[in-house]
Structure 1
Amino acid sequence: MMRASGLTKKYGDKTVVDDLSFEVHPGTVTGFLGPNGAGKSTTMRMLLGLDAPTRGTATIGGRPYAAHPAPLTEVGALLEARSVHPGRTAHAHLTALALTHGIPRSRVDHVLDLAGLTEVARRRVKGFSLGMGQRLGIAAALLGDPATVILDEPVNGLDPEGVLWIRNLLKSLAAEGRTVLVSSHLMSEMALTADHLVIIGKGRLLADTTVDAFVREAGAGAVKVVTPSAAELAALLTGPSVTVTGDSPGTLTVRGCDSAHIGRTAAAHGIPLVELTPHTASLEQAFMDLTRDAVEYQATVRTPAQATARTSTQTGAQTSAQATALEGTSA
């Protein structure tokens, strides 16, 4: 089991991780999620003893990472796939790691095959693509046949076949009773891979729950309604305890009343209903809703209407400038 207890990390006046506590249990794939700048990488570095916490403790298998006599056989980690000497071959890199722990050479060949790198094992790493580098990093993480695996953005740079391979690999590791912690920005992939979620924002714990419970709670109390008379129905339903939002033309999300009340209201006013179902949130939408106030780097998103208005303004300005130039030429 992996445990973070009151982990805090400060750099000067900036608190990157703030009193963070959670546990990662064997037999499950735990997704470690958060917006950019949330403190995920710093937390992983503290779990692995690469960064010393300002306060708090981090243990894996009941002891700090550095206290394990043969850490590669206890914990396998991928934090930076490119942390390999570019002049070495994949086989030489893994062999050097194996020699530090007395790991047999047969294990090197095994993880190379597992990662799909057997054919390029004698090639220098500097010629590897991003995806090949990720595969080598994962092979290194599994070299010691560890009970605990920590992977930071393992699908980065992988093609669809590689993403599927990672998904099945993580599930198989958990099925073998290993402790698996994986971070990713791909919510669709986490929805297919993770059993449990630890979500942080601005260094603080926001959620520690199962994927199913998190998504279910995010969509609780909402009803999806599809009708050609969306505006009329929305006006009838909206009240002090009922909120109605328009997701797209003809589609409403209603919170604060159940399907039966919506159906009765529509029937009483002769409004046809095409669909009336409990709303199910996606993991991505649930994550966005939870972390909306914890995003450190907020981008500005223009709607299609704003983009059209901007284009019209630019076109008008360009036309005006051309007209002015023509007038000057005529003069």
Structure 2
Amino acid sequence: MIRAHGLTKRYGPRPTKTAVDGLDFEVRPGAVTGFLGPNGAGKSTTMRMLLGLDAPTAGHATIGGRSYATHPAPLHEVGALLEARSVHPGRSAFHHLTALALTHGIPRSRVEEVLELAGVREVAARRVKGFSLGMGQRLGIAAALLGDPGTLILDEPVNGLDPEGVLWIRTLLKSLAAQGRTVLVSSHLMSEMALTAEHLVIIGRGRLLADTTVQEFVRASGAAAVKVVTPEPTALADHLAAPGVHITSDTPGTLDIHGTDAEHIGRTAAAHAIPLYELTPHSRSLEQAFMDLTRDSVEYQATTPLTGAAA
């Protein structure tokens, strides 16, 4: 289990910049936990403090009940991927993993096993400087798995992977969690997190915004919409009008209805002999819920280009 209590990190002389501000959360074994937040939210800084690479200004973090630095054989306890390119470029993939293995008495057979698992066995003799971004990521994941750890902390592991690689890492993370391991993974790909994670820890400007399951987070973010296509939109809207029901229309004959469900809409239409050509519930996506929650926490706001502007 990973625990953060009052975790705080400030940088620089006065005035200081607060990168992480009093974070409290737990990452429990048995489920993939997505660590989410906009750019500049403090995710990487938090991960570095979890791994003892940055000292917190206040608070503390433990993995398996103790700080990372006090684990006598950390590779057997925690596997981490923070920067896939932090490898000597002149080493081969095999020699990089072998050097790590020797620090913990890990046998050569395990090196070969993780090379195979990560899909880099065929390029194990090549120097890392010739690796693509995706192959570098696979090597970094192999290194994280080298000690068969009970805890995984991975920062953007799908970055640079092709579709097959994304599917591979998704399946791998879910299988590791199913074995009872603790898995914390950050990503900017909300669609991938919706498929991979069961729990979420979301931060913005260094502060905790949400600590909940994916399903509960999406459900609590707002009611689902129901798309209705009918030749009598005005009549149906009049019959559905009620406190808490919001109806909009961007296309003639089409209604987007919030605040009630498809069953009620269908029954109302039938009771008043209003034909329906389409009645489709649309649940909110994780991306929509995330954007709504973090809208005020985004450090850099882009603007929409003006239509017809000169190039």
- Counterpart in the other structure of 1:41: 44
**Displacement after TM superposition at 1:4 (Å):** 0.7
- Counterpart in the other structure of 1:288: 291
Q: CA–CA distance in 2 between the matches of 1:151 and 1:247? A: 42
Q: CA–CA distance in 2 between the matches of 1:231 and 1:10? A: 57
Worse-superposed segment, 8-17 or 195-204: 8-17
In structure 1, stretches of 5+ residues that fail to align are: 316-331
Residue 156 of structure 2 is aligned to residue 153 of structure 1: yes
Question: Structure 1 vs Structure 2: percent identity of aligned residues?
Answer: 79
Q: CA–CA distance in 2 between the matches of 1:72 and 1:247? A: 56
Worse-superposed segment, 293-302 or 114-123: 293-302
Q: CA–CA distance in 1 between the matches of 2:3 and 2:138? A: 27
Contact 1:227/1:273, CA 8 A, preserved across alignment: yes
Q: TM-score when scaled to structure 1? A: 0.84
- Partner of 1:101: helix, strand, or coil? coil
Q: CA–CA distance in 1 between the matches of 2:80 and 2:3? A: 16
Q: Which amino acid aligns with 1:188?
A: S
Relative to structure 1, is the Cα distance of residues 283 and 127 closer, same or farther in structure 2, using a 3 angstrom cutoff? same
- Counterpart in the other structure of 1:162: 165
**Displacement after TM superposition at 1:269 (Å):** 7.6
> Over aligned residues, Cα RMSD in angstroms?
2.5
- Counterpart in the other structure of 1:17: 20
- Counterpart in the other structure of 2:138: 135
- Partner of 1:289: helix, strand, or coil? helix
**Displacement after TM superposition at 1:230 (Å):** 4.8
Q: Which amino acid aligns with 1:180?
A: V
Residue 5 of structure 2 is aligned to residue 5 of structure 1: yes
**Displacement after TM superposition at 1:245 (Å):** 3.7
**Displacement after TM superposition at 1:40 (Å):** 0.8
Q: Which amino acid aligns with 1:2?
A: I
Contact 1:9/1:54, CA 8 A, preserved across alignment: yes
Worse-superposed segment, 280-289 or 262-271: 262-271
- Counterpart in the other structure of 2:302: 299
Relative to structure 1, is the Cα distance of residues 249 and 168 closer, same or farther in structure 2, using a 3 angstrom cutoff? farther
Relative to structure 1, is the Cα distance of residues 227 and 101 closer, same or farther in structure 2, using a 3 angstrom cutoff? same
User: Which is higher, the Rg of structure 1 or of structure 2?
Assistant: 1
**Displacement after TM superposition at 1:215 (Å):** 2.0
Worse-superposed segment, 213-222 or 118-127: 213-222
* Per-residue deviation, residues 197-220 of structure 1 (Å, max 9, x unmatched): 111111111111111222222343
The one of 170, 174, 183 aligned to 1:171: 174
- Counterpart in the other structure of 1:193: 196
Contact 1:74/1:146, CA 8 A, preserved across alignment: yes
Q: CA–CA distance in 2 between the matches of 1:82 and 1:247? A: 48
Q: CA–CA distance in 2 between the matches of 1:255 and 1:171? A: 34
| Structure (1/2) with the larger helix percentage | 1
Relative to structure 1, is the Cα distance of residues 224 and 6 closer, same or farther in structure 2, using a 3 angstrom cutoff? farther
Q: TM-score when scaled to structure 2? A: 0.90
Relative to structure 1, is the Cα distance of residues 96 and 249 closer, same or farther in structure 2, using a 3 angstrom cutoff? farther
Relative to structure 1, is the Cα distance of residues 42 and 292 closer, same or farther in structure 2, using a 3 angstrom cutoff? same
Worse-superposed segment, 153-162 or 203-212: 203-212
Q: CA–CA distance in 2 between the matches of 1:247 and 1:103? A: 62
**Displacement after TM superposition at 1:99 (Å):** 1.0
Q: CA–CA distance in 2 between the matches of 1:36 and 1:245? A: 33
Contact 1:219/1:279, CA 8 A, preserved across alignment: no
- Partner of 1:102: helix, strand, or coil? coil
In structure 2, stretches of 5+ residues that fail to align are: none
The within-5 A match list for 1:1-331 is 1-12=1-12, 13-220=16-223, 222-228=225-231, 230=233, 241-246=244-249, 250-257=253-260, 259=262, 262=265, 272-302=275-305, 307=307, 310=308
**Displacement after TM superposition at 1:234 (Å):** 5.4
Contact 1:73/1:145, CA 8 A, preserved across alignment: yes
* Per-residue deviation, residues 96-151 of structure 1 (Å, max 9, x unmatched): 11111111111111110111111110100000000000000000000111110011
Q: Which amino acid aligns with 2:27?
A: V
Q: CA–CA distance in 2 between the matches of 1:223 and 1:278? A: 4
Q: CA–CA distance in 2 between the matches of 1:298 and 1:232? A: 41
Q: CA–CA distance in 1 between the matches of 2:25 and 2:138? A: 28
Relative to structure 1, is the Cα distance of residues 201 and 147 closer, same or farther in structure 2, using a 3 angstrom cutoff? same
Q: CA–CA distance in 1 between the matches of 2:251 and 2:57? A: 48
**Displacement after TM superposition at 1:225 (Å):** 2.9
* Per-residue deviation, residues 164-207 of structure 1 (Å, max 9, x unmatched): 11011101111111100001111111111111111111111111
Q: CA–CA distance in 1 between the matches of 2:235 and 2:37? A: 39
* Per-residue deviation, residues 68-104 of structure 1 (Å, max 9, x unmatched): 0111110000000000010000001011111111111
